[in-house]
Amino acid sequence: MMERTEDLIARLAADTKPKSGSAMRHFIAPLLLACVLCIGATALVLDDPFPTYHLRGWLPMVVKWGFSVSLLLIAGLALHVLGRPGRPSGWIIASLALPLVYIGYFALPLLLSGDLPWPGLAWERCLIAMGIMSPVGFAAAIMATRWLAPVDTRRAGFVAGLFGGGVAMTAYAPFCPGEGALYFVTFYLLPILTMAAIGWLSGPKLLRW
């Protein structure tokens, strides 16, 4: 009986010893560089961080960062798991829903109650920031993942897109005056999911090996 391709890859991966952590260093470096670059550039270009603090306190910022940072960290871990053939990945893919559950706890009651101020303040700047920085984070995630050996390149590309969106939101959120559940869905969540869709479509081409 012919051995399945996935089983063969898993067996070869299990028989092969990693090269003294060099792949891990090459994997982490682009991800960290993208975070530092986006956060640093945003801090240099924009001023007046935390513009709603005097009105709302820290809660809006905690909610935004709670979503974006958790998405960033889980997506980074998922890329590493997907890049190691033979390892189960269903659990880490399922865990990507956790940031959505978290934000849904805050956003759904507002959406259902009709509290829908829209488009809100500085939405154009938010879209521009997400549109510029998401591809930077996505490119870094693709570069990092290419040092590994992802078998499911569509899934890995999708996660790379989520990572890119997480980087962009984490960098820009402290300077965003926009509030409200519909604002979040329109100008943060939709751009992140769009980047993930681009990753899903382009993953097989960008990550083939």
Quote the distance between the C-alpha of residue 158 and its chain's center. Answer: 9
Q: Which H/E stretch holds residue 76?
A: helix 59-82
Instruction: Give the confidence band of 6 by pLDDT, cuts at 50, 70, 90.
Output: low
What's the pLDDT tens digit per position in 25-42? 899 999 999 999 999 999
Residue with tokens 């952590």: 21
Confidence at residue 18, expressed as pLDDT on a 0 to 100 scale = 46
Contacts of 96 (CB under 8 A, 6+ apart): 71, 74, 75, 78, 159, 162
Between 47 and 81, the higher pLDDT residue: 81
Q: Is the pLDDT of residue 5 over 80?
A: no
Q: What percentage of residues in the chain have a pLDDT greater than 90?
A: 59
The predicted structure's pLDDT at residue 160: 98
pLDDT over 80 (residue 21)? no
Q: Tokens at residue 25, please?
A: 């260093």
Asked if residue 150 has pLDDT above 70, the reply is yes
Amino acid at residue number 207: L
What Rg do the C-alpha atoms of the chain give, in angstroms? 19
Higher local confidence (pLDDT), 24 or 72: 72
Residue 1 has pLDDT above 60, yes or no: no
What is the average per-residue pLDDT within 174-185? 87
Is the pLDDT at 22 greater than 90? The verdict is no
